[in-house]
Amino acid sequence: MLEWLSRHSDALQVIMSGVTAGVWVVYLQVFLVSFRHQRRPEIIISLGAGAGAKACWFVSNLGLESIFVVDVMVRFETTSGVTEAVVTDRTEMNDRELSSPAEATNQGPLASGDFMSIGTFETLLARTEVVSAPAHDLKSVTIVVVAATAARWSLVGASRHYRIVFDKSGAPSILSTMIYTHQIHGRRGRQDLIRKLESRLG
């Protein structure tokens, strides 16, 4: 056995070096995938602090890095069709209610672990202004948040879809159709966000 090992020591050394290199390559790949996953933006859209039309939507940043909220969009589905609008600016607030210009918009930086309110169902509907259908004709609403990060060359985003159900008195209940916020990280989703923002440039 010792004689065989002595005769084939060079070949065995090459094999062991190859196995060691392969293990390190796999380890490095797993590390890089884990590292990229940890640094991936995670935007959460939630509804609370009230009920019905008074409930407030919040945007939270659960990623490890800060993000910059570029735009907030809503998509209202009615019995007659779908309407999309940008609701970033808080048009319901007048100058007297503002202590600084930054309070007039939802656009701005959001540090890791921070959150902000983007408005209630009533205020988002008022900011849209183009929904001409009666309130009881509304069927669903989708909130879309567009953000930028220092770690990525392109935009990222998140969306969450809600059903709107009215009781006999006409009061709405807003029910999420998904447990988690949908993260827009893929190339096709990012390109769609860019096209929507570019369309606003005229």
Q: Give residue-wise pLDDT tens across range 102-118.
A: 666 778 889 988 998 88
56 CB-side CA count, 13 A? 10
Domain containing 21: what range? 2-37
Of 28-32, 159-163, 173-177, 182-186, highest mean pLDDT: 159-163
Nearest to 158 by CA among 73, 78, 91, 81: 73
Same domain, 17 and 76: no
Q: What is the pLDDT of residues 78-105, one digit of tens each?
A: 877 788 888 877 665 555 555 555 666 7
Same domain, 151 and 52: yes
Eight-class DSSP state of 99:
S
How many C-beta atoms surround the C-beta of residue 134 within 10 A?
10
The model's pTM: 0.73
**Strand-pair partners of 68:** 109, 148
Q: Into how many domains does the chain fold?
A: 2
Nearest to 64 by CA among 152, 186, 184: 152
153 pLDDT above the threshold of 90: no
Same domain, 158 and 190: yes
Same domain, 33 and 45: no
